[in-house]
């Protein structure tokens, strides 16, 4: 069973055309082991607009970015967990290393990334700024990261 929040980019584009005037917020990531920091980040991203779209790295993309053994959870499971969050409206997979092509197709009004990104290094910022949109960063909650969780689990075994 597929969740209605998990859509193809073409379907998402059709959906978004039915909501003119609503502000589309876009963020992306692997979200391999969802934790409190992710949930607070996504909640905060959603407050900046009307529709939150999450670009989710595919399994192949996550493996290239995070290395052998990742992701721990397959993309359908990661998407299903994200779909369970009330702040997330749509999830769309991308297989590239960056979401640039996806951002170009979606044309969001607001682009959001975590506080570890400087605004001049955020992929797709040029696309959003060209349409007079906003590029925002949201601070991380200290001590919360997937890497930290993995390290903690590894020390216990």
Q: Please tell me the pTM assigned to this model.
A: 0.91
What single string gives the DSSP state of each residue in 21-71? TPPEEEEEE--SS--HHHHHHHHHHHTTSSEEEEEEE-HHHHHHHH-TT--
For 110, list phi and psi in degrees, rounded to 5: -135, 130
Judge whether 22 and 50 are in contact, CB under 8 Å. Answer: yes
Predicted confidence (pLDDT) per residue in 109-151, tens digit: 999 998 777 888 899 999 999 999 999 999 876 666 666 666 6
């Amino acid at each position: 069973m597929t969740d209605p929040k998990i859509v193809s980019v073409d379907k998402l584009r059709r959906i978004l055309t039915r909501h003119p005037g609503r502000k589309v917020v876009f963020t992306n990531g692997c979200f391999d082991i969802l934790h409190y920091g992710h949930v607070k980040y996504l909640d905060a991203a959603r407050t900046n607009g009307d529709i939150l779209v999450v670009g989710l790295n595919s399994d192949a993309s996550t493996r290239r970015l995070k290395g052998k053994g990742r992701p721990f959870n397959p993309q359908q499971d990661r998407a299903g967990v994200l779909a369970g969050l009330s702040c997330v409206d749509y999830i769309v997979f991308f297989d590239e290393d960056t979401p640039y092509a996806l951002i170009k197709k979606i044309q969001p009004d607001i682009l959001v990334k975590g506080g570890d990104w400087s605004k001049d290094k955020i992929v797709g910022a040029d696309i959003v700024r060209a349409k007079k949109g906003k590029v925002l960063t949201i601070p991380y909650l200290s001590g919360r990261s997937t890497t930290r969780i993995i390290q903690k689990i590894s020390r216990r075994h």
